[in-house]
């Protein structure tokens, strides 16, 4: 089984992401100690709330530096994706800076953008077997604005198009919640694990 | 496009699903986790568990139920009932809930909404409002499970709550709750106009057309219902088919996992 480290930075719901990854076939460890990443084949960075709070949690344990140094497969979810970027408009928070760009407030209403919305992807392997336009569950008010359009893997519309999935090499991230998105979310997590296993086989 | 949501609600007392008319005369309607699984199979977009006993003894039972639900459910769920502090909310979120409703405690101490939003993000803070029509065409907030009047205007409270940190309003019409006469559309429209956050309509659903009305004419973002689903008078699938037919964007889960 693929050993997946789910990073606990103090905020949010780890029960549902851990259970969803286990259903997808992962051997899940919840970690807050940076040293624990050494044994993992992949890292999942979940998160709800705001970038500033997530970053405080990551800095407290030194996990911020460990994630920046981690060059294996990484999946960011919601605020876990937002912290990939350099800074957020929300409270002027500084992120990990793994991907060039910012995080900005959505223009659509109602806000938070809450519920199931269409994810139009470009055929990225993360979405194998999932038709473009399949709805996933979102709950957020901010979304990433990458500098380089080439990292955009999917977009969604809420009063204007926003980036709902990102791929920058082995770092991937989704603005929606695969652990709460029914069959399509389960498939996406399986695709991520398949990619991790493929990478391990190639190594 | 963002889809309108259909949310079966499970009123829970001592680990069982119950339902009463106008908040009294409770009847046992089944096992929460079993019902939850059935609703998800039928296409529920979210679920809502309201602990209507909210006693200290029942707290452990509730958290255990939340944990079991979180481990098996593949859609989001909201938990409410008796949440009076940041620590209460943390316990429910750590057990695996996606969102938590606050009601009485927020009326008594509005700052609770601010504190919870700061601690966990406003996206998981749901302000539940139990509202009852007054003779002058306005609505009054009731607390303590609908037993205590407050003199507070429900529409103004919704706006204040959203400004303080609520990321969603769960709006229950006490006049309609359990009656199956349809949602209070006037109340919905008034609150919808007062806030930018999503509004969930609750109280009065008796048939799928009531949901069409709440979403289309009332401006609700989601509809919540209990008894019509529990008693299998209408399935979630039937409701969504009717909504789609009426031109309302809904998610029809087509493929098996």
Q: Shortest CB distance from B1 goes to which of A14, A20, A157? A: A157
* Residue B66 near residue B95 (C-beta atoms within 8 A): yes
pLDDT in tens, B131-174: 999 999 999 999 988 899 999 999 999 999 999 999 999 999 99
pLDDT at B58: 66
Give CA separation, B27 vs B11, B52, B80, B177, in Å: 10, 12, 19, 15
Q: Shortest CB distance from B253 goes to which of A141, A179, A182? A: A182
Residues 6 or more apart whose Cβ sits within 8 Å of residue B218: B183, B185, B188, B189, B192, B201
pLDDT in tens, B224-253: 998 889 888 899 999 999 999 999 999 998
Query: d(Cα B35, Cα B72) in Å, to the nearest integer?
Result: 12
Query: d(Cα B109, Cα B113) in Å, to the nearest integer?
Result: 8
Q: Shortest CB distance from B70 goes to which of A16, A49, A181? A: A16
Residue of B37, B66, B70 to mutate, testing the A interface (most A Cβ within 10 Å of its Cβ)? B70
Closest CA relative to residue B45, chosen from B231, B198, B210, B159: B198
Catalytic entry in B11, B177, B184, B221: B11
Q: A19–B72: do the CB atoms touch at under 8 Å? A: yes
Residues of B in contact with A109 (CB under 8 A): 196
pTM: 0.95
pLDDT in tens, B57-115: 667 788 999 999 999 999 999 999 889 999 999 999 999 999 999 999 999 999 999 99
Residue of A6, A8, A9, A16 to mutate, testing the B interface (most B Cβ within 10 Å of its Cβ)? A16
Does residue A68 carry a pLDDT above 80?
Answer: yes
Q: B3–A116: do the CB atoms touch at under 8 Å? A: yes
Q: Which domains does chain A have, with CATH numbers?
A: 2-202 (3.40.50.880)
Mean pLDDT of B188-193: 98
Cα-based angle B175, B181, B184 (whole degrees, multiple of 5): 55
Does residue B47 carry a pLDDT above 50?
Answer: yes
Backbone angles phi, psi at B38, to 5 degrees: -65, -45
Query: d(Cα A43, Cα A31) in Å, to the nearest integer?
Result: 10
B256 — pLDDT class (breaks 50, 70, 90): very low
- On average, the pLDDT of chain B sits at 92
pLDDT at B257: 39
pLDDT at A13: 75
pLDDT in tens, B108-133: 999 999 999 998 899 999 999 999 99
């Amino acid at each position: 089984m693929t050993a997946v480290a789910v990073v606990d930075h103090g905020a949010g719901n780890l029960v549902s992401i851990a259970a969803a990854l286990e259903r997808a076939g992962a051997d899940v460890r919840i970690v807050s100690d940076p040293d624990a990443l050494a044994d993992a084949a992949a890292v999942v960075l979940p998160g709800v709330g705001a970038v500033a709070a997530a970053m405080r949690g990551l800095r407290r344990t030194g996990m911020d530096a460990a994630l920046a140094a981690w060059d294996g497969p990484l999946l960011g979810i919601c605020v876990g994706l937002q912290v990939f970027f350099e800074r957020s408009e929300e409270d002027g928070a500084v992120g990990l800076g793994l991907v060039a760009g910012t995080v900005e407030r959505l223009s659509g209403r109602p806000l938070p953008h809450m519920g199931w919305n269409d994810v139009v992807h470009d055929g990225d392997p993360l979405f194998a077997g999932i038709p473009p336009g399949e709805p996933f569950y979102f709950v957020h008010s901010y979304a990433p604005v990458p500098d380089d359009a080439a990292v955009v893997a999917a977009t969604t519309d809420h009063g204007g198009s926003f980036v709902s999935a990102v791929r920058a090499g082995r770092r991937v991230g989704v603005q929606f919640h695969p652990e709460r998105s029914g069959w399509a979310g389960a498939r996406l997590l399986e695709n991520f694990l398949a990619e991790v296993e493929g990478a391990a086989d190639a190594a | 496009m963002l889809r309108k949501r259909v949310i079966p609600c499970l009123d829970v007392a001592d680990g069982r699903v119950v339902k009463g008319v106008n908040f009294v005369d409770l009847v046992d309607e089944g096992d929460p986790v079993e019902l939850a699984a059935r609703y998800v199979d039928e296409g529920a977009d979210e679920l809502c568990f309201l602990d209507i006993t909210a006693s200290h003894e029942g707290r452990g039972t509730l958290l255990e139920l939340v944990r079991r639900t979180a481990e098996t459910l593949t859609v989001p769920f909201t938990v409410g009932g008796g949440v009076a502090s940041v620590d209460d909310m943390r316990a429910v979120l750590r057990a695996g809930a996606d969102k938590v409703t606050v009601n009485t405690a927020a009326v008594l101490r509005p700052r609770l909404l601010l504190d919870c939003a700061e601690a966990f993000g406003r996206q998981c803070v749901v302000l539940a409002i139990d509202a009852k029509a007054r003779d002058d065409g306005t609505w009054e907030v009731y607390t303590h499970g609908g037993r205590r009047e407050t003199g507070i205007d429900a529409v103004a409270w919704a706006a204040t709550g959203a400004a303080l940190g609520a990321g969603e309003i769960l709006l229950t019409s006490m006049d309609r709750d359990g009656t199956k006469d349809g949602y209070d559309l006037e109340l919905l429209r008034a609150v919808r106009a007062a806030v930018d956050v999503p509004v969930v309509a609750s109280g009065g659903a008796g048939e799928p057309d009531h949901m069409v009305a709440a979403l289309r004419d009332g401006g609700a973002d989601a509809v919540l219902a209990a008894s019509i689903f529990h008693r299998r008078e209408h399935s979630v699938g039937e409701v969504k088919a009717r909504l789609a037919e009426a031109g309302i964007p809904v998610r029809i889960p087509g493929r098996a996992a």
